[in-house]
Amino acid sequence: METRWVKTHCGRQDHGGCALIVGVEGNRIVQVKPDPAGLRSRGYLCYKGAHGAERLTHPDRLRAPLKRTGERGSGQWQEISWAEALDTVAENLDKTRQAHGARAVAFCQGMPKGLEHFVLIRLANVFGSPNVVAVQDVCHAPRELAGVYTCGFYPVADFAYPSRLVVLWGSNPSHTNEEGNICSLLFDQRRQGTELIVIDPRRTELARKATHWLRIKPASDGALALAFLNVIIEEKLYDEAFVARWTHGFDDLASATSAYTPERVADRCWVDADLIRESARLYGKTRPSAIQWGNAIEHNTDNFQTARALVCLMALCGNLDVPGGNVEALDPPLLALGKFVKAELLPTKRKEMIHAFRGTIPRLMTVPPAHFRRAVLEGDPYPVRAAYVQCANPLLSYADSRQTFRALQRLDFLAVSDLYLTPTACLADVVLPAATQFELDDIGHYGIGHSYVLARPKVVDPPEGCWPDLKILNELGKRLTPRELWPEDHRGFLEEVLRPSGLTYEEFAERGHLSGEERFRKYEDRGFSTPSGKVELALSDASKFRLPAVPAFPASLAVSAEYPLVLTCAKDPHYLHSSYRWVEGLHKKSPEPVVQLHPQTGASASIADGDEVVVETASGSIVQVARLNADLHPAVVIASYGWWFPEEGDASQKGWERSNYNVLTSTAELGREFGTPNLKGIACRVRRGP
């Protein structure tokens, strides 16, 4: 059979972005190749990308809607038609709305995968519920909003222009393709002499190439950032002209950081004082420099302060909105997000959403999962009784998995849309089989200010029983809310978004991408969009929002005799979170949950490489397989996250408890601003197990 080649972009396996050339025979993908002409990827393709199409044809993929027949979670299902599935979901969501009000229905999304996230928000708004639950508490909201509050925008590392130095701060882009800023651009820069500083408890691939690797104690990033500020201020390495003209609160910041000398912080961070000083000097003296910040700065309760400190660093050193620095990306001409999600139909959202009662930062528009579960379990601040979940596996991805289990069990009604019967889907009343990447037309990165969007045109038809989320949501919208608010066909959503660009989806797909205008130092014309019009090193509105004006940090995590080690985690290069454990090609590369320990730590607990290890925290215990790693600090333990076992039965929700990192995490303590729990930096102990 003749092979047809189709150009598209990768998606739904991380934030997406690599340009692909896909070989198709009949309706089957036979090869995925990188496109050398890719806007950002320039011919890059990772292992996940190369195996992505295996998901489509997997024999155990969901291919028909399912209705629970036995007790919830008992693994007894009946296949039903789409009409019955949609009617059942609509009836139950409506029943909850009638009985308890629209806000008793939550709409839950995991990592945004494409346009479906924004259609879900539209459905929630039009339905009348302010509660879109998402993982933004641990993913991007802390750094994006810290940026917005401090300098009026989200400062994205600019890899399109050369930087003389890149600081990878708790970010591992060679394995995570963070922000769709494909690491091939960074590798190109490295070859041309760009230096690296890597701040990571692990010696990552890029740490090996770095001028300085700071093997930080997990969750002490805030203190380290203040030490950088301390050196840069004390040694006057900052951009004096920029600071004088464009910053507010320099003296406050200087006095707040004066105590954080490298010598004092060294013990807190486990990084040698001289290395801190040298690294801070290098950042202070090298322009332009970009800070690529990752999840590690947001996976703990101090995230707002840490992210603020990093924006202050960018500003002091004149790296904001300059080529090769951290920039304000301008969106391409697309429909404004608020209009697309029909925000005007729910003007009370800000006051009514669950977290508004918890004093979170005012601009946080999605409900932190910890607050959602409290509403379900305790009716606090009001009861939530039904949930629609798409593109998410909360039983694995939310902190405190046992609490998630209880909350999902407590709901009156749960619908889940996924490709596979995941542990979360095992607890649903109705399961909806989704079509996915390669099977639907999509737009990559709409609504996330990265200056460009990428076309992900469809390559093959989905199996007959599988529907794109856009279509499912459109049909639910028509059943639950005024019909005229929804397009006739779900592809109308794509046309709506693109209309201001003057392109049809077909024309957009032909082009492959749309970029925003490229302009730097925009503040010179209009100032910074903050109350003072300057970068707010000290926040003008701090007291209004009950925030500290300048970054400050509580004492670092205390280990104890009972839990003497510090646990953290990192993404598996071969999987997306808990996704796709069922894809053989990926499973072959990463077949078991691995916990990394220093050999000395292993030896003192009689643990050898390959042994089963019990990892325990005050919240719970799990079993993973030991890998000894002499590059780690002896007191650091790095466990795998997202593990469950597709081969195990539905009635045990596929072994979700045994090796699941989030059994070890807790929501007892949350950062107030974003409702974030600690995912990285937890006191733990290990023993040979099980």
Ligand X SMILES: Nc1nc2c(c(=O)[nH]1)N[C@H]1C(S)=C(S)[C@@H](COP(=O)(O)OP(=O)(O)OC[C@H]3O[C@@H](n4cnc5c(=O)[nH]c(N)nc54)[C@H](O)[C@@H]3O)O[C@H]1N2
Residues forming the site for ligand SF4 (CB under 6 A): 10, 13-14, 16-18, 45-46, 48-49, 177
Site stretch for Mo ion (CB under 5 A), options 61-69, 132-140, 334-342, 387-395: 132-140
- Closest by CA to 343, choosing from 123, 105, 102, is 123
Q: Pick from 131, 306, 390, 629 the residue near ligand X by CB under 6 A.
A: 390
Per CB under 6 A, does 433 bind ligand X? no
Per CB under 6 A, does 475 bind ligand X? no
Q: Pick from 121, 157, 183, 216 the residue near ligand X by CB under 6 A.
A: 216
Structure tokens that stand for 9 in this block: 């972009």
Find the helix or strand (DSSP H, E) in which 157 lies: strand 156-157
∠ CA 491-495-497, nearest 5°, is: 115
Q: Count Cα neighbours of 490 within 13 Å in the Cβ-side half-sphere.
A: 21
Q: Cβ closer to ligand SF4: 178 or 536?
A: 178
Site stretch for ligand X (CB under 6 A), options 232-240, 279-287, 344-352, 571-579: 571-579
* Identity of the residue numbered 289: S
Q: Cβ closer to ligand SF4: 177 or 189?
A: 177
Residue 294 binds which of ligand SF4, Mo ion, ligand X, none (CB < 5-8 A, kind-dependent)? ligand X
Whether the CB-CB separation of 144 and 295 falls below 8 Å is answered with no
Q: Cα(125)–Cα(347) distance, rounded to whole angstroms?
A: 9
Q: Cα(455)–Cα(447) distance, rounded to whole angstroms?
A: 14
- DSSP class of residue 8 equals E
Per CB under 6 A, does 15 bind ligand X? yes
How many residues touch ligand X under the rule CB under 6 A: the total is: 63
Residue 436 binds which of Mo ion, ligand SF4, ligand X, none (CB < 5-8 A, kind-dependent)? ligand X
Residue 171 binds which of ligand X, Mo ion, ligand SF4, none (CB < 5-8 A, kind-dependent)? ligand X
Which 3 state secondary structure label does DSSP give 663?
helix
Per CB under 5 A, does 139 bind Mo ion? yes
Identify residues 319-378 at the interface with ligand X (CB under 6 A). none
Per CB under 6 A, does 419 bind ligand X? yes
Q: Cα(111)–Cα(102) distance, rounded to whole angstroms?
A: 24
Structure tokens that stand for 587 in this block: 């499973």
Structure tokens that stand for 539 in this block: 């926040």
Per CB under 6 A, does 571 bind ligand X? yes
Residue 570 binds which of ligand X, Mo ion, ligand SF4, none (CB < 5-8 A, kind-dependent)? ligand X
How many residues touch Mo ion under the rule CB under 5 A: the total is: 2
Structure tokens that stand for 316 in this block: 């002091």
Q: How far is the CB of 42 from ligand SF4 (least distance, A)?
A: 11
Angstrom distances, CA of residue 383 to CA of 102, 129, 366, 380, 409: 11, 13, 17, 6, 14
Q: How far is the CB of 571 from Mo ion (least distance, A)?
A: 9
Site stretch for ligand X (CB under 6 A), options 56-64, 415-423, 533-541, 602-610: 415-423
Q: Cβ closer to ligand X: 133 or 329?
A: 133
Q: How far is the CB of 572 from Mo ion (least distance, A)?
A: 13
Structure tokens that stand for 630 in this block: 């002499």
List strands edge to edge, sheet with 28-34: 4-9, 19-25, 28-34
Per CB under 6 A, does 417 bind ligand X? yes
Q: Cβ closer to ligand SF4: 18 or 408?
A: 18
Partners of residue 199 on adjacent β-strands: 169, 214
Identify residues 248-307 at the interface with ligand X (CB under 6 A). 294-296
Rounding to the nearest 10 degrees, give the CA dihedral for residues 397, 398, 400, 401: -50
Q: Cβ closer to ligand SF4: 14 or 328?
A: 14
β-pairing, 326-327 with 156-157? antiparallel
Per CB under 6 A, does 174 bind ligand X? no
Q: Cα(318)–Cα(325) distance, rounded to whole angstroms?
A: 8
Residue least distant from ligand SF4 (Cβ): 49
Q: Cα(250)–Cα(280) distance, rounded to whole angstroms?
A: 18
Q: Is 180 left (phi over 0), alpha (psi -120 to 50) or beta?
A: left
Q: Pick from 35, 158, 195, 221 the residue near ligand X by CB under 6 A.
A: 221
Q: Say what angle helices 82-100 and 469-480 make with each other, to 10 degrees.
A: 50
Per CB under 6 A, does 671 bind ligand X? no
Q: How far is the CB of 135 from Mo ion (least distance, A)?
A: 6
Q: Cα(288)–Cα(326) distance, rounded to whole angstroms?
A: 9
Structure tokens that stand for 96 in this block: 């909850």
Q: Pick from 579, 619, 667, 678 the residue near ligand X by CB under 6 A.
A: 579
Q: Cα(329)–Cα(325) distance, rounded to whole angstroms?
A: 12
Q: How far is the CB of 457 from ligand SF4 (least distance, A)?
A: 15
Q: How far is the CB of 14 from ligand SF4 (least distance, A)?
A: 4
Per CB under 6 A, does 172 bind ligand X? yes
Q: How far is the CB of 264 from ligand X (least distance, A)?
A: 19
Q: Cβ closer to ligand X: 178 or 352?
A: 178
For the chain, the helix, strand and coil percentages under 3-state DSSP, each to the nearest 5? 35, 20, 45
Which 3 state secondary structure label does DSSP give 199?
strand
Q: How far is the CB of 286 from ligand X (least distance, A)?
A: 20
Find the helix or strand (DSSP H, E) in which 455 lies: strand 452-456
Per CB under 6 A, does 404 bind ligand X? no
Per CB under 6 A, does 661 bind ligand X? yes
The residues binding Mo ion (CB under 5 A) are 111, 139
The residues binding ligand X (CB under 6 A) are 12, 14-15, 110-111, 113, 135, 138-139, 169-172, 175-178, 199-202, 204, 216, 218-219, 221, 294-296, 390-394, 396-397, 417-420, 422, 434, 436, 469, 568-573, 575-579, 641-642, 661-662, 665, 679-681
